[in-house]
Amino acid sequence: MRVLIAVTHLLGTGHLVRALTLGRAFVAAGHRVVLASGGMPVAHLDAGGVEVVQLPPLRSDGTDFARLLDGDGVVADTGYLARRQEGLCGLVRAHDPQVVITELFPFGRRALSEEFLALLEAARGRVVLGSVRDILAPPKKASRAERTEALVLAHYDAVLVHSDPGVVPLELSWPVTEALRGRLRYTGFVAPAVPQGAPNGEVLVSAGGGPVGRRVFDCAAKAAVGDRRRWRLLGRDLPDAILGNVTVEPPRPDFRTLLAGAVGSVSLCGYNTAMDLLQTGVPAVLVPFDEGGEVEQGLRAEALEKLGGFRVLRADALTPAVMREALAAAIGDARRPVTFDFDGARRSVAIAEELVAGR
């Protein structure tokens, strides 16, 4: 089976990481996968047999997802966007996929509607799937939800919701009508295999793969003062003043191994980080990203805190003392056993195979 996955990450790298996890599951099942990546190139991620095609890259202007910048940081003009659209549609002609998957669209990436709609038109006659995480950015207008539903009903065979409806139903963040519900296919959570790591006694501080998290890193560097443990900060927006028990590095491909061995974690609360923390059981302080009115990570963090072993801090309330206290409380708190389904990637493959077979 030939599969095309289209994904554009604009701020962090979470969307790309999840799409690659999905792609690797298709490859493991014997299928050929081409992934069209429209965000900024990310060197340290594992493609694992997925053929990654880099489109002319885009990033958002901070949290302004309607203002798109090219690889040089200049506002992308119509010619630049047209080259992306042609490259994306060209992959349909060259690869001739039986399955086309759009990551997040049409529930998000409205600024890229033109290229996604062109892709959907090029993909007519094929199995078309949407792929969304557990929690979405809630629509600010009813018309946006109505437009999304109309696109799903017109173009999509199904929407893969990478969540457990008994834990985080899509209704928590998005209005789900009966018509839309009929297209939703819950897959369980999408995550790689449970990471293994020898205990290292470290506090691991991370903020995903994007250019955010400076406030968290600055606070952590100060919170480490006087602590006997080593604090390891992994990110791209790091503090200048580093003390003896603090190690500073860019994101590493063995992040999950480091996390599995850590005594505690301080991080944002994106989808992939949440999956890593649930799988490893590492006590964690969560500082949900909330700039620009973002609520997704806050909703997820609140759900996790109920499980024990998590403490949630708001970015505007961060101080070194508060972070140290929250970390101690998380480490001293017992995590309630969970039985979440992390096999969402494999189940997504099975759904796609079933739909292709039914054609």
pLDDT in tens, 204-222: 999 876 667 889 999 999 9
The segment(s) of the chain belonging to CATH 3.40.50.2000 are 2-190+342-357, 203-332
Q: What is the CATH number assigned to the segment(s) 203-332?
A: 3.40.50.2000
> Which residue's entry shows tokens 């620009």?
292
pLDDT for 239 beyond 80: no
Phi and psi at 68, nearest 5°, equal -100, 130
Radius of gyration of the chain (CA): 20
pLDDT for 12 beyond 90: no
pLDDT for 240 beyond 70: no
Most confident among 38-52, 129-143, 331-345 (mean pLDDT): 129-143
Q: What is the pLDDT of residues 320-345, one digit of tens each?
A: 999 999 999 999 998 877 788 899 99
Report the topology of domain 2-190+342-357: Rossmann fold (3.40.50)
Measuring CA to CA, which residue among 291, 268, 324, 297 is closest to residue 63?
291
Q: Rounded mean pLDDT of the chain?
A: 93
> Which residue's entry shows tokens 């985080």?
168
pLDDT for 184 beyond 80: yes
Percent residues over pLDDT 70 in the chain? 98
Is residue 7 helix, strand or coil? strand
Burial of 203 (0-12, 13-18, 19+ CB in 10 A): buried
Phi and psi at 43, nearest 5°, equal -80, -30
What is the band of 85 on the pLDDT scale with cuts at 50, 70, 90? very high
Distance CA 3, CA 31 (A): 7
What DSSP line would sit under 150-164, residue for residue?
A: HHHHHH-SEEEE-S-
Q: What is the pLDDT of residues 153-179, one digit of tens each?
A: 999 999 999 999 988 899 999 999 999
Burial of 253 (0-12, 13-18, 19+ CB in 10 A): exposed
State how far the alpha carbon of 74 is from the alpha carbons of 56, 68, 77, 80, in Å: 13, 8, 9, 11
Residue 281's region, left for phi above 0, alpha for psi from -120 to 50, else beta, is left
> For 145-153, what is the mean pLDDT?
98
> What's the whole-model pTM score?
0.91
What is the band of 104 on the pLDDT scale with cuts at 50, 70, 90? very high
